[in-house]
Structure 1
Amino acid sequence: MQANMKAKPHSCEVCGSSFALKSTLLNHRKTHTGDKPHSCEVCGSSFVRKSNMLRHIQTHTGEKPHFCDTCGSSFARKSHLLSHMKTHTGEKPHSCEVCGSSFAQKSTLLCHMKTHTGEKPHSCEVCGSSFAIKSSLLSHIKTHTGEKSHSCEVCGVSFAWKSGLLSHMKTHTGEKPHSCEVCGFSFARKSHLLHHMKTHTGEKPHSCEMCCSAFALKSTLLKHMTTHTGEKPHSCEVCGVSFAWKSSLLSHMKTHTGEKPHSCEVCGSSFARKSNLLSHMKTHTGEKPHSCEVCGSTFAWKSNLLSHMKTHTGEKPLSCGVCGSSFAWKSILLNHMKIHTRRP
């Protein structure tokens, strides 16, 4: 104890902490008094220590003097560089006592612990949503402000989050690192791969409360719901036609621009929509995946199967507005209408 007193002879009268240097004790006392004499001239933030203020200044100057020898990344603070180095060494010295997960940084461990405690101390002042991590709150705030600070240098599209920009960049590079182990399809985003996997498992967890139809993706369910509400919020600025889905509007716009970006590798025919190209390909492959359960006839397109089914059901949903005659198919109704329009 006496040896420690000699090594750290300067003691804090408030909490008893000891220091080797009197200057360190004086700085420490400010943590009790709340004194922050060092202010940033740019934003007005105040700090107990001058060294903390100097580090803060780098957030305004963009100065990053600490470089990683392995990958060349640069950092404003040496502590950030040291934390980064663990991504190369794989070192994870901080372990969770609850589940055993290991982390490179103690701060990451502390954030992880909140998944066990359920603690969400960071609340949004706008909508009241709570978050375990302050960074998640800051990201959430952008949904209210509309801030999109991350811009693509290739096409100029802006994103609220850096992760969104990084995912978007793959549309320019063509990178698709996430592959399906079942069929080999590759995807730019992991979320797209997870959605795709449901086509193999048949999982459809999202159900419509009105008609009980089930869907693999929540986004597909939301699109389906517009068939019940009749909502068509997406309007064409050229001709005024409205659509339930934005994707339908974008496809429609090609009828005005004449754009046909999807080409057949067999015969060179071009199409405005990828779905049309896929349908066209069946004319080359002879594929007829849609079968009639009544007579076994097969069809390349589902629409043809549905039309065929009317020969079995006798359904004639299309009526002539002049004489009331009913027809199963629109083409026959249109031919019939000619007998009314012919001149005597």
Structure 2
Amino acid sequence: MNTKSFIGENSYSCKVCGSSFTRKQCLAIHMRTHTGEKPYSCEVCGSSFTHKETMVNHMRIHTGEKPYSCEICCSSFTHRQTMVQHMRTHTGEKPYSCEICGYSFTRKPQLVIHMRTHTGEKPYSCEVCGSSFTEKRSMLRHMRTHTGNKQYSCEICGSSFKNKNDLAIHMRTHPEEKPYSCEVCGSSFTRRNNMLQHMRIHTGEKPYSCELCKSSFTRKPGLVSHMRTHTGEKPYSCEVCGSSFTQRINMLQHVQTHTGEKPYSCEVCGSSFIRKPGLVVHMRTHTGEKPYSCEVCGSSFTQKSHMLQHMRTHTGEKPYSCEVCGSSFTQKHHMVQHVRTHTGNKPYSCEVCSTSFTDKQTMVIHMRTHTGEKPYSCEICGSSFTKKINMLRHVRTHTGEKPYSCEICGTSFTKKTYLLRHVQTHTEKKPYSC
């Protein structure tokens, strides 16, 4: 077959699809896309390729060679194109833009997938139940719910997982080499880039800023996730129930509520957790460690979020407001519970007497009136209580502690209600009438 056709000087044309080339060799290589010919084979695993260059790139998987390096952070890559894409994380360049909403991306495949959020296209379908997906990997991950296949195995302990991300999370439970250390606190990391990002905790540097509200972040993914609070975009969906999330990690954690998988276990009491941070925080109940301290009064806490909530008792900040009556609260879940006083919604019911409650904790405490359980005990006299706050108040009868002080005369009290009643003696307020 004479495949040469002179469209221009030294121009070669494909008679199958009409593509043209300046060199005969390029046409010959192109024809393999039609014939399926793959003349180049990997000597290690036998994979075959249409291009010699593709085979050479593939060989680096076996040799570990990464000849392309980033001049900024020294990360290395097996492919030049991958290094070029990586450089955009430093330059901020996003050459691929969505014509509908203006979102831009560093890679063209990301734009193609994003466009499906506008078109609704879901080109990948499950052969078993017919569910359709925007991404091939989502479809493959879903297929494992039918086959039970766990193709990702841990080389250290043999545990197997349905998806690569779960294996990556599991691998962190095994000790590994961390050659990069923080000179300030000594924390170590497997990658230099992670160490450099960690250093910003000490320097306070937040190079990524939101153009809408001026919030700033130490890492670019933090800014990307934050922007979704403005756009409302939730690109990650649960394949089981359809719930959508702004962050992939939140979606993965949610999926585990369906599978029941809790890969992180406490070696002391056997409690298991969906996420490693949950295990880390739990361990402090055994060690007594409270690494977060209040700069005002010195109170210490096991979790940073608890310390930040406590700080509001000093600053008076109440960032969560009720849209109905305007009442403000220091914690979001307090505001959510309050809103139920307007809606009348009481989603938590007692299984014994059917009494319903606006919040779960109140229902749990109520259940103790049926079971007689008193989980909080005084270490001094052994008295037990249904509520922790009652136990803490009781302990003060032994210690003599009076943590609530009047700012006017200095008189101190064991309970906050006693202090509030006392303060009225200074204001001459008389709220009770005959």
**Normalized against structure 2, the TM-score is what?**
0.44
2:421 counterpart residue number: 291
Query: Which of the residues 364, 374, 380 maps onto 1:260?
Result: 374
Query: Post-superposition shift, 1:218?
Result: 0.6
1:63 counterpart residue number: 156
Question: 2: CA distance between counterparts of 1:256 and 1:49?
Answer: 68
Q: Are 1:203 and 2:341 matched, yes or no? A: no
Q: Are 1:187 and 2:187 matched, yes or no? A: no
Query: Post-superposition shift, 1:85?
Result: 1.2
Letter in 1 for 2:284: K
2:236 counterpart residue number: 124
Mapped contact 2:374–2:386 kept (Cα < 8 A): yes
Q: State percent identity of aligned pairs.
A: 35
Letter in 2 for 1:166: V
Question: 2: CA distance between counterparts of 1:169 and 1:251?
Answer: 24
TM-aligned CA distance change 1:253 to 1:228, over 3 Å: same
TM-aligned CA distance change 1:194 to 1:34, over 3 Å: farther
Query: Post-superposition shift, 1:164?
Result: 1.7
| Bigger-Rg structure (1/2) | 1
Mapped contact 1:124–1:141 kept (Cα < 8 A): no
1:149 counterpart residue number: 262
Deviation string, structure 1 residues 291-341 (Cα, Å, up to 9, x no partner): 37776599xxxxxx9xx83x32x5xxxxxxxxxxxxxxxxxxxxxxxxxxx
TM-aligned CA distance change 1:216 to 1:25, over 3 Å: same
Question: 1: CA distance between counterparts of 2:156 and 2:396?
Answer: 59
Q: Are 1:242 and 2:386 matched, yes or no? A: no
Query: Post-superposition shift, 1:191?
Result: 1.2
SS of equivalent residue, structure 1 residue 209? coil
2:4 counterpart residue number: none
Mapped contact 2:318–2:329 kept (Cα < 8 A): yes
The residue correspondences of 1:58-97 to structure 2 (distance < 5 A) are: 60-63=153-156, 74-75=175-176, 81=177, 84-87=178-181, 92=192
TM-aligned CA distance change 1:62 to 1:277, over 3 Å: same
SS of equivalent residue, structure 1 residue 290? helix
Mapped contact 1:122–1:130 kept (Cα < 8 A): yes
Q: Are 1:223 and 2:332 matched, yes or no? A: no
1:112 counterpart residue number: 219
Query: Post-superposition shift, 1:187?
Result: 1.1
TM-aligned CA distance change 1:234 to 1:189, over 3 Å: same
Mapped contact 2:42–2:59 kept (Cα < 8 A): no
> 218-227 or 267-276, which moves further after superposition?
267-276
SS of equivalent residue, structure 2 residue 181? helix
**Normalized against structure 1, the TM-score is what?**
0.53
Mapped contact 2:41–2:49 kept (Cα < 8 A): no
Deviation string, structure 1 residues 15-69 (Cα, Å, up to 9, x no partner): xxxxxxx999999994958989xxxxxxxxxx95595599xxx9525238xxxxx
Question: 1: CA distance between counterparts of 2:419 and 2:246?
Answer: 49
SS of equivalent residue, structure 2 residue 255? helix
Mapped contact 2:281–2:302 kept (Cα < 8 A): yes
Letter in 2 for 1:161: R
Count, aligned residues: 247
TM-aligned CA distance change 1:48 to 1:176, over 3 Å: same
Query: Post-superposition shift, 1:177?
Result: 1.5
1:139 counterpart residue number: 252
Query: Which of the residues 389, 412, 426 maps onto 1:275?
Result: 389
Higher relative contact order (CA 8 A, sep 6+): 1
TM-aligned CA distance change 1:278 to 1:114, over 3 Å: closer
Mapped contact 2:253–2:275 kept (Cα < 8 A): no
Q: How much is the aligned-residue C-alpha RMSD, in angstroms?
A: 5.1
**Structure 1: tracts of 5 or more residues without a match:** 1-11, 15-21, 37-46, 65-71, 76-80, 103-110, 299-304, 315-344
Letter in 1 for 2:263: H
Query: Post-superposition shift, 1:202?
Result: 0.7
Query: Post-superposition shift, 1:173?
Result: 2.9
Question: 2: CA distance between counterparts of 1:28 and 1:214?
Answer: 63
Mapped contact 2:350–2:363 kept (Cα < 8 A): yes
Letter in 2 for 1:63: I
TM-aligned CA distance change 1:215 to 1:145, over 3 Å: same
Mapped contact 2:234–2:244 kept (Cα < 8 A): no
1:172 counterpart residue number: 286
